[in-house]
Structure formats: structure tokens, C-alpha cells
Amino acid sequence: MSRLGLVVLLALLPHAARADSQPLPAMGADLTQVSVSGISSGGFMAAQLATAYSATFMGVGVIAAGPYYCAGTYPSIDYLQNATTTCMSPASPAVTANATASWANAIRFERKGLIDPVSNLARQHVYVFSGSNDNIVKTMVVNEVPKYYSLAGARPGNIIYDNQTDAGHSIVTDNPSDLACPDNQSPYINDCGFKQSQVLLAHIYGPNVQAPADTPSQAILRFNQGEFVQGTRTSMDSDAYAYIPSVCQRTACAIHVAFHGCKQGATVIGKRFYSGTGYNEFADTNKLIILYPQVHKSKGIPPNPKGCWDFWGYSSEDQQHKDFYTKNAPQMKAIMAMLKRLGQPRPALASSDSQ
């Protein structure tokens, strides 16, 4: 193989799907009932997506993460320094994330046409969580998320904030085989006696939600994520995952996007996030598709050594003008393209066969 051919092949590998992955199907999903949640960097991504594309999202769950554009809180330091100090372990409340700054920046970006109208935020249903034993993203950071939504005009009843659970940095389950509740270590899935995913989904889609299934009735779909990815710096995997209940073959289901955190993608912990955190059981009985996008670690370009979602700018093609917080952000554009696909009409044959 020529050197040029090798270079081209290596460039294509990140977007090359595995042989057993399938295209993400058109499902005729209800794009008026789309929500998002995430933990850690995935929580920051959920907060970004819910603000930048606020016209699309009617609910958001932010677990162990801070408010929109947290990495831009203090312009005197760069995005990465903000991300690793201001947005994770600030030395004091004086230098933590700041809801007022995030809200002012959101208004500024709307005026520039970079994000959807911020007036949409008032209607969103918001679930926020900070474990009282979390030593990776401090509670003082997470405190700013409900404050941000209050500034946006969200009614108190639209916001749930749990900062009383003795959890470490984790998404919470009731599975005794998961880590102890106060732990702060991989895979960041802790047994605290309740299924957090189902609590947040019930808040977003309530009050008439159905009790979750005991076990999922369908297999997880591995799909070709690469076809939705543009750019060379996204750190997104070639494949991602989705849970699609059988009822969604014949009715318009809602969609929930669930973002894993750092060191929590499928390339690191296998199926534990997309199969073991309770989302799928809720989806089965509530006409809900769960989308599990994936990112992986990279040691070179882009610099993403822990496989985190981008809330400080590594994915921007133009590193002098980072756009990770705008509707032009490469990772968020990929997610929106996946949602568009799920919302497209089901093929006529599939629709008729499923009646």
C-alpha cells in the first residue's frame, strides 16, 4: 500500500463501523418529545445540548455536572483550565461555576444566532443530581444548574435537585453488584438503592408514566455512528447503541439521549452503561427510544485521554475559534443528525408488516 493510501485508510478508521453494526433506522419517532441526560462530561454535554438546541429538547437530566458553557465562566483563563478547575474542583465558591455568567452568555449567544432562543428553557423539565460524597465534580458546581434554570424562568415544579444522596461520582442504580454508593471510581455506576435513570425519566415524562419492565424485552441495537460524524476531531466511536422497544415499530415513540461520562464508554466498560443503568426497562413500557452515543479516548489529536464528551473545545476544527457550545459543534451536530434519522418515517414495508 502506498503511503498516501495508508494515510487515507487511517483517517477513515475512526468512522468505519464494525461488520455487525447496522444503520440507525428511521422510526417515525415523535420529535416533539425528545429529552437528554448524562453523567460527568456527559452531564455537561446534556446541559449544552439542551440549551444550544432548546427548541428540540423538552427535558434534561444533569448528573454530576455543571451549567451551560461552564468552561467559559472566567474568560481570564482558557477553556481547558476552566473545565478542570471551575467546573470540577474549584478551590472555593468564589471561583466555582456561575449560573449568572452562564445565563448571560446564553443570552449573548442567542443574539448572535449561535443557539436556539433561550425562552425555550423555561418549559424544560429538569433533573439535577450531585452526590454528597462526589470528590470529582463538587456539589458547589452542580448547584449552579438549578440556579441557571431559575434564571431562565423555569417553574420550581419543573426542577428536581437531589444533593442529599451519599453518592460518589456516579450514575445511581439499585444493583448490589455495582459499586458502593459513596465510591468515586470506575465504572462510576453506584448502588444507592434506586434507579436514577428512571427517576429522571419519570420527572421529564410524568405524571402518567408506566411502571418500568422487570427486564428489557429487546436486544440492544449496535448502529453505525460514523455516518453521522463530520470532522476529524470529534473522538466519536464508529459505532453507538440504541434501545428500541417493539411498540416503536408501530407507533411514534419519544426519544431520550443518554450520555455516558469519562472513562465510561463501551470501549472501556463494555455494555454496563447502555444495558445496566435502568433506562431500557423504563423505555419498554413508556414508548421511548434510548439513544446511547459514544466517544472514546485519544492521546494525540484530539487530546481526549479519558474519553470525555467535549465541553471545553477539543472537537472544534478551528481551534482558534472553538464552537463546542454552539449549534455548529461537531458532536452536537452528529447527535441532531441521529435524532433526525429516528424521526424520519418508517419504511412502508416495515410499517405494514408490523400491523
Condensed to tens digits (0 to 9), the pLDDT of residues 340-353 reads 999 999 987 544 44
Q: Which of 62, 233, 77, 232 is nearest to 161 (CA)?
A: 62
Residue 268: what pLDDT?
98
- In the annotation, is 235 catalytic? no
Contacts of 224 (CB under 8 A, 6+ apart): 17, 21, 22, 23, 24, 238, 239
Residue 122: what pLDDT?
99
- 40, 170, 238, 315: the catalytic one is 40
Only one residue has cell 482558557, namely 78
Residue 348: what pLDDT?
77
- 116, 134, 183, 191: the catalytic one is 134
Residue 15: what pLDDT?
45
Alpha carbons 294 and 284: distance in angstroms, whole number = 22
Residue 18: what pLDDT?
60
Alpha carbons 123 and 68: distance in angstroms, whole number = 16
**Residue type for position 34:** V
Residue 234: what pLDDT?
97
For residue range 211-240, list pLDDT tens digits in order: 999 999 999 999 999 999 999 999 999 999
Residue 17: what pLDDT?
54
pLDDT < 70 regions, the chain: 1-19, 349-355
Residue 6: what pLDDT?
34
Which H or E run includes 241?
strand 239-243
Q: 32: which DSSP letter?
A: T
- In the annotation, is 197 catalytic? no
- In the annotation, is 169 catalytic? yes
Residue 300: what pLDDT?
85
The pTM for the full model equals 0.93
Residue 353: what pLDDT?
42
- 15, 125, 169, 203: the catalytic one is 169
Alpha carbons 94 and 110: distance in angstroms, whole number = 27
Residue 12: what pLDDT?
39
